[in-house]
Structure 1
Amino acid sequence: MFVLTIDQRGSRHGTDRVPELLDALAGTRVLRGFERTVGDEVQGVLDDPEVVVDTALRVLRDGGWSVGIGAGAVDEPLPASPREGAGPAFVLARDAVEAAKSRQRPVPVAVRGADEVAASDADAVLALLGAVAARRTDAGWAAVDAAREAEAGGQDVVARALGVSQQAVSQRLRTAMWAEEVAARPAAARLLTRAAG
């Protein structure tokens, strides 16, 4: 199991963005849906490591959030609300979100797991993916978003959607390191699975 604890950064000096985050995460496949736990914090319980990777990277893209991922067991039966959940994954998620808040972390994501080595590896891969995404230009993001929507359609579909040449799409996706992200996402998911023990 995976518990995601997401905390708003600098919330004491800004507006409460939790409602907007909850709206953005509403369609996520979860075991227990994301909800506000305390203050400016959101928590959800997931069982699919690929969805965990996607969710963490989506939240990091929006900016202003620290993402903690706890990979491990949860006490069962799982209650209806994540706020009432217990077990190692919840404790690990708390440790992870506190680590993600560290100013020494350029990317505010951290993983803690039952298997510490795998969790450390997953942490490193997710931080690297987050760093790659953070350096994307608006044009790079537009190409990545169009490529996601087109999926099997190919670069000609993306080029038409963006109103640019296929060569421009290719250059934007290369600069955005989209192929590298696509290749690394499954590795991060496998590491999360190992981290859960």
Structure 2
Amino acid sequence: MIVLTVDQRGSTHAEDRVPAVLEHLAEWVRGRDGMVVSFARTVGDEVQGVLAASDAGAQLAVDLTLALLRDQGWSVGIGVGPVELPLPEVSREGRGPAFYRARDAVERAKRRARGTSVAVEGPEGPVGANRANEIESLLRLLGAVRARRTPQGWEVVDRLAELADKPGRQKIAAQSLKVSEQAVSQRVRAALWQEEEGVRPVVVRLLAELSGWMGGERDDASDELRGNATP
């Protein structure tokens, strides 16, 4: 399974943003596959959720992580591994390696700069550790790219993301934003949006592979979700 533990940065001297981020997370996951245990407050200014060890779960984990990093007010820990059954209704009651690794990961993430405060912990052993490090490095790279994006760049990127990927969408974006196509092209290049779009599927694939590879650890929860749990 994939566990996301998310902690508010600088919460000691800031208002409690957990209710707002829970609303955002609920909106972001609505209608999408991959959510197993919904996000909820665990303790203090921290929230946690459990995602499936699947392509859909990995895609959702990457999308949520990048959305939280864009805010720059959160540290994200991603833990991959088995969880104990039965799965709880709220994640704070969950146990198992994936939960413990998410806890270790978020503590490491807190030491990172805003926009790149993410860490990943996977199954023990060189294969799991190396793959987790690859995913973490790519997520931090994407976070750094997005942290340097200007408001004008985000305006174009957000508009393009709303449109179907087909010829002419930059022209449509230019018309809706009341700027020239050349201006849209310049902003896209400066925002490194096409580069981001090329890397994101790679991160999702790596995370999906890691969540499906337990390195000898038994993942009864994933078996149960697939309908193949053993007595």
Separation (CA, whole Å) in 2 of partners of 1:174 and 1:105: 23
CA contact (8 A) 2:81 2:97 kept: yes
Cα distance in 2 for partners of 1:104, 1:50 equals: 24
2:60 to 51, 58, 81: 51
Equivalenced residues, count: 197
Q: Which has the higher mean CA deviation after the structures are superposed, 183-192 or 104-113?
A: 104-113
- 1:152 CA drift (Å): 2.6
Q: Please give the residue correspondences for 1:15-164 in structure 2 after superposition, counting only pairs within 5 Å.
A: 15-27=15-27, 28=29, 29=32, 30-47=35-52, 48-103=57-112, 107-114=116-123, 115-152=128-165, 154-164=169-179
Local SS of the residue matching 2:89: coil
2:186 to 168, 171, 183: 171
Q: Which residue of 1 aligns with 2:219?
A: none
Unmatched runs of 5 consecutive residues or more in structure 2: 214-231
SS of corresponding position for 2:26: coil
TM-fit CA distance, 1:156: 1.1
Unaligned ranges ≥5, structure 1: none
Change (3 A) 1:19 1:104: closer
Q: CA–CA distance in 1 between the matches of 2:86 and 2:177?
A: 48
Per-residue deviation, residues 157-189 of structure 1 (Å, max 9, x unmatched): 111121111111111111101111111111111
8 Å contact from structure 1 (residues 3, 44) kept in 2:
yes
User: What is the identity percentage for the equivalent residue pairs of Structure 1 and Structure 2?
Assistant: 54
Give 1:77 deviation, angstroms. Answer: 2.5
TM-score, normalization by structure 2: 0.82
| Structure 1 vs Structure 2 CA RMSD | 1.4
